[in-house]
Amino acid sequence: DGGITQSPKYLFRKEGQNVTLSCEQNLNHDAMYWYRQDPGQGLRLIYYSQIVNDFQKGDIAEGYSVSREKKESFPLTVTSAQKNPTAFYLCASSNNYNEQFFGPGTRLTVL
Amino acid sequence: EDQVTQSPEALRLQEGESSSLNCSYTVSGLRGLFWYRQDPGKGPEFLFTLYSAGEEKEKERLKATLTKKESFLHITAPKPEDSATYLCAPTSGGSYIPTFGRGTSLIVHP
């Protein structure tokens, strides 16, 4: 089955730690995206990538980093510089101008 | 700046009670408008893409329509399993990144 997988489903971070969220897709999509979702808020774009080895900042990139070494993979690192990282993180992919398909999400909690 | 407003924020219906959700948008040169359904704790599920004013799409009890300023998601004779948050996301002509609204939380009581 084609789709997007995210891991882990739940993640706990201590103060000062960097953590990495995994996102893999086998839809052969060129573009991949990371969003953050907080209660009562819309999806906010963190980073996106149109092609391997290239990515752009979204609206709330501070405190996050990404890489795109393979077409199928777009991991997100939440660094210690992100002061309020507790949120639900969603990865998506698309063929650029078409609809996005989302993964199941990772819920990150800071202890 | 692209803007999207969804209303109402929350809607409670009785099973079988039809209603509509609204998505008002301001984007420069609409490329397409997406509708998604999101269940609690899960990723959004794609429902429809609308491209031009007057276009309509249907899926089971849902029908999405589009004008130059708004999109509506009509729910006919809803069932409890239709309970979810519905998100709309227009995309402007200069970008392929959609702007998501905050969503309408729908609860359908049996």
Asked if A1 and A9 count as a contact pair (C-beta separation under 8 A), the reply is no
- Residue A108, pLDDT score: 95
CA neighbours closer than 13 Å in the CB half-sphere of residue A93: 23
Asked if A59 and A44 count as a contact pair (C-beta separation under 8 A), the reply is yes
- Residue B50, pLDDT score: 96
- Residue B1, pLDDT score: 78
pLDDT tens sequence for chain B (110 residues): 788 999 999 999 999 999 999 999 998 888 999 999 999 999 999 999 999 999 999 999 999 999 999 999 999 999 999 999 999 999 987 777 899 999 999 999 99
Q: Which sign, positive or negative, has the C-alpha torsion B45, A32, A111, A42?
A: negative
Decide if pLDDT at A74 tops 80: yes
Q: Which residues of B touch A4 (CB under 8 A)?
A: 43
Q: Is B55 helix (H, G, I), strand (E, B) or coil?
A: coil
- Residue A1, pLDDT score: 62
User: Which is more confidently placed, A29 or A42?
Assistant: A29
Decide if pLDDT at A4 tops 90: yes
Q: Smallest Cβ distance to A41: which of B4, B91, B102?
A: B102
Q: Which residues of A touch B46 (CB under 8 A)?
A: 99-102
Q: Which residues of A touch B100 (CB under 8 A)?
A: 35, 42-43
Decide if pLDDT at A5 tops 80: yes
Query: B92-110 as b/e, with b when 16 or more CB fall inside 10 Å?
Result: beeebbbbbbbbbbbebee
